[in-house]
Amino acid sequence: MFSRQVDVTSMSATEIAASVRARELSASEVASAFLRRLESVNGRLNAVVVPLFASARAEAAAIDEMIAAGAPVGPLAGVPVTVKESFDVRGTPTTAGLTARKDHIAAADAVMVGRLRQAGAVLLGKTNVPPLLLSTETDNPLYGRTNNPWDLERAPGGSSGGEAAIIAARGSPLGLGSDLGGSVRIPAHACGIHALRPTSGRLSMIGHFDCLPGNEAILAQPGPLARSVADLSLAMSVLAGPDQSLRDPAVPPVPWNHPSGVDLSRLRIAFYTDNGVFRPSPAVRRAVQQAADALAETGVQVEEWHGPNLEEAWDICVRVLVADGMRGPRQALKGSKLDRHTRSLIGPATLPRGVLAAGALLSAALGQRHVSQGLRRLRRASARDFFQLVRRRNEFRDRFCAELDARRIEALLCPADALVAIPHGTSQYLGDTLSYTAVYSMLGMPAGVVSFSRVREDERSDRLRSFDLAERAAKQAEQGTAGLPVGVQVVACHWREDVALALMSALEHRYRDTSEYPRDPPL
């Protein structure tokens, strides 16, 4: 039985839905509680940038009327949700952080937004993003900067950074983000919540802004974010329900399996703490090892991963993403005000190939390994070159999956990011930290992030002094991180989101009552 002494905003989406259906709480009471919380924290976070407060109250009242009349209600009846700004919501702007799109008003809901509404969710508002959704920070000239609730001087991740920030601050119990290279996983890790990127193609992207139009070699996916792993499962049961293919023929009719059917004692998993591209911080490495040890104690078979070269996978991934010489993003940016980060991201792509090659050689000579490698990969591909890249991707995926199959490995544990939440304005040289998440987007595998720990006082940076700008930026980011959240990425085989969620749930249950669990940020 629900106790009214409990703060409603501390309840999970699963608990809220059950309480509303049982008439222990009204949907209007729940909406009012979250709107009060949202209004009290959003001024410091700038996470919700398109508020829908009046319509949220009306939607909640309609749910209450249905329940009073005995009408059937959906599994999310009365559950407040927030949605990433890049999803179409009827009658609201979908700008992707671009000033030139400020008057772009959606005529209809995105497919996934429609599913949430049909399930009875109450939409509180839309959340902030970086321009074109192409950054691990969340800041744009249209809506401004979003702050991390654990430290307002740090970023909440990107590109679903606004979503993660407001959920962590208890302004929303459940959110819908999207993930191309890590855009729900990195914010979840940075803000101390949980998130899931489904198998590529599992969910429809109709009604979502396309930041790389025409590139289907690496697919973005909608993904839920929440403070409870069970809420991710609840959201996925709604989002991945049957009949998606009636609206979107690109979505295969693969059934959704609930994680309760997974027997952990029969699982065999592997882990690694360093992918060879960018060395993680001590707290990140420790958390992965800690997760592996904890799962081994529950009966899961655990071994260290020594599979295919992940540096090769990252090289393929970057080359695929920039294969058009960033012409698609540059076209989308026309007429928009650009911030410093977007200029630094797009600018080098306009340089002739010879200049890029010379810049790569010079950077290497000056000890700028990460810059040099980035410039080598930044080249426009011909159609033939792109086909070869896709073939390289397919061959690597085949080797990767064959290695998993040969060793009977059903999931991997690894870092969600090389760093915890970074200071605002420091992502420019840290692109290689994306390798921990983007590689699995390229492979099309489902991957979630479970947050269960925080940086300890004695976990200080162990990076050596370096002239490399990326290493220097990382060392700077690692200063003053004690107490910040740390997540672990859980990757499963294709279409086995249930395995990833079962492992994530086991870790959440193991650590949620410990002092290190990232429960409430100090807002």
Q: What is the pLDDT of residue 370?
A: 96
Q: Which of 26, 86, 159, 453 is an active site residue?
A: 159
Q: What is the mean pLDDT of the chain?
A: 96
Highest mean pLDDT pick, 88-92, 348-352, 464-468: 88-92
Residue 3, pLDDT > 60, answer no
Domains of the chain plus CATH, in order, are 8-312+391-511 (3.90.1300.10), 313-390 (no CATH)
Contact predicate 198/446, CB 8 Å: yes
Residues 6+ apart with CB under 8 A from 246: none
Kindly indicate the confidence band of residue 1, based on its pLDDT and cuts at 50, 70 and 90.
very low
Query: Which of the residues 19, 86, 183, 441 is marked catalytic?
Result: 183
For residue 84, indicate whether it is catalytic: yes
Per the CB < 8 A criterion, the answer to whether 481 and 455 are in contact is: yes
The answer, yes or no, to whether residue 2 has pLDDT greater than 50, is no
Distance CA 271, CA 269 (A): 7
Q: Catalytic site residue 3?
A: no
Q: What is the 3-state secondary structure (H, E, C) of 353-391?
A: HHHHHHHHHHHHHCCCHHHHHHHHHCCCCCHHHHHHHHH
Pick the catalytic residue: 84, 86, 228, 281? 84
Tell me the pLDDT band of 341, cut-offs 50, 70 and 90. Answer: confident
The pTM for the full model equals 0.97
pLDDT tens for residues 206-245? 999 999 988 999 999 999 999 999 999 999 999 999 888 8
pLDDT, tens digit, 9 for 90 and up, residues 88-114: 999 999 999 999 999 999 999 999 999
- Look at residue 5 in the predicted model and tell me its pLDDT: 56
Query: What are the pLDDT digits (tens) for 45-92?
Result: 999 999 999 999 999 999 999 999 999 999 999 999 999 999 999 999
